[in-house]
């Protein structure tokens, strides 16, 4: 659980996985938080999170074919993590598979289920 949210942030922010894997799910730096909090209301909504991760998918999709291959995600996902996100096991990540995973992470991190993450 800790790893998967850290993974989500790593996808967008290219932070070192080794360091992130050690941190708590909401142990975001203020800088990371502010990047995600687009409307600057002090909270990250599901919409802000989804839009950010949608952009991260587009950035990772180097050949622009709408799917992520293992090599396109090599810098942010281990083979094991890739297999978890690849829910239909076809060897590629669709945008839906990717967003389903990161939004599950979001909801797990949203302890009080109000649809927002607050800066601690």
Smaller CB separation from Ca ion, 43 or 50: 43
State in angstroms the smallest separation of the CB of 22 from Ca ion. 27
Interface residues with Ca ion (CB under 5 A) are 37, 39, 41, 43, 61, 63, 65, 67, 86, 88, 90
Alpha-carbon separation of residue 108 from 20, 46, 74 (angstroms)? 17, 12, 25
> How far does Cα 112 stand from its chain's mean position?
20
Neighbouring C-alpha atoms within 13 Å toward the C-beta of 24: 5
Smaller CB separation from Ca ion, 20 or 44: 44
Smaller CB separation from Ca ion, 6 or 36: 36
State in angstroms the smallest separation of the CB of 91 from Ca ion. 7
Neighbouring C-alpha atoms within 13 Å toward the C-beta of 58: 6
State in angstroms the smallest separation of the CB of 93 from Ca ion. 6
């Amino acid at each position: 659980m800790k790893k998967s949210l850290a993974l989500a942030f790593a996808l967008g922010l290219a932070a070192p996985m080794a360091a992130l894997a050690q941190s708590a799910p909401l142990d975001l730096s203020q800088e990371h938080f502010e990047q995600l909090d687009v409307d600057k209301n002090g909270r990250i909504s599901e919409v802000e999170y989804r839009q950010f991760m949608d952009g991260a998918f587009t950035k990772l999709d180097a050949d622009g074919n709408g799917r992520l291959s293992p090599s396109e995600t090599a810098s942010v996902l281990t083979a094991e993590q890739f297999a978890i996100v690849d829910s239909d096991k076809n060897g590629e990540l669709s945008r839906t598979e990717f967003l389903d995973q990161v939004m599950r992470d979001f909801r797990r991190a949203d302890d009080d289920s109000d649809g927002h993450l607050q800066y601690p």
